[in-house]
Amino acid sequence: MRIGTYLYKVQFGGGEKQLIFLCKELAGKGHEIVIFTADETIKNIKLPFTIILFKKDSNKITRYKIIRQNIRRKRLDWFLMFYPQDFVLAAALLTKTPILSFLCVDCQFYAKNILRKLIQSFWLGCSKKVVFQTERVREAMPRYIRQKSVVIPNPIMIEYCNSFYTIEKRHVV
């Protein structure tokens, strides 16, 4: 399968860590992975992916066009989404590429106001499948989202820690 995703920033945080971990596992099983990003830090990590870099100053319309063109050109079978970027969602939807969404934070934490709640509902509603990290977050969702969801707990990925941090380590007693 050919699988695409958008990575906003390369860092050793929750969603980013999950995304890189998942893509590495999928690539190891023979799937072709395409990552769209503007963060050139990804060049520092040896990963078996196709990387499509945006210019840092590119706007959402330019990014939307690049993602849409490459979804079609590479004939992506799935698009993974870890957060609802409007231009990414539009590109995937308009190419009719199925979306697999991951809600990596508590929905009440993320959707603090009515606009975010609407965006989150639209995003998850448009998704073919939804992955939650806990049963509690899953149960907070409407039934139509729960019916197309699964819970996969947060894994730990130690092997890439040094690739993300450049802070000098020292032992202090």
pLDDT in tens, 86-126: 888 888 888 999 999 888 665 555 667 788 778 778 888 88
Intra-chain end-to-end CA distance of the chain, in Å: 51
Q: Can you tell me the distance from the alpha carbon of 7 to that of 20, in angstroms, rounded to the nearest whole number? A: 9
Q: Can you tell me the distance from the alpha carbon of 92 to that of 72, in angstroms, rounded to the nearest whole number? A: 10
Q: Can you tell me the distance from the alpha carbon of 32 to that of 40, in angstroms, rounded to the nearest whole number? A: 20
User: Which pLDDT does position 158 carry in this prediction?
Assistant: 55
Q: Are 77 and 98 in contact (CB under 8 A)?
A: yes
Could you give phi then psi for residue 68, rounded to 5 degrees? -60, -45
The pLDDT confidence band at residue 30, using thresholds 50, 70 and 90, is very high
Predicted TM-score of the model (pTM): 0.76
- The stretch 30-47 carries a mean pLDDT of 86
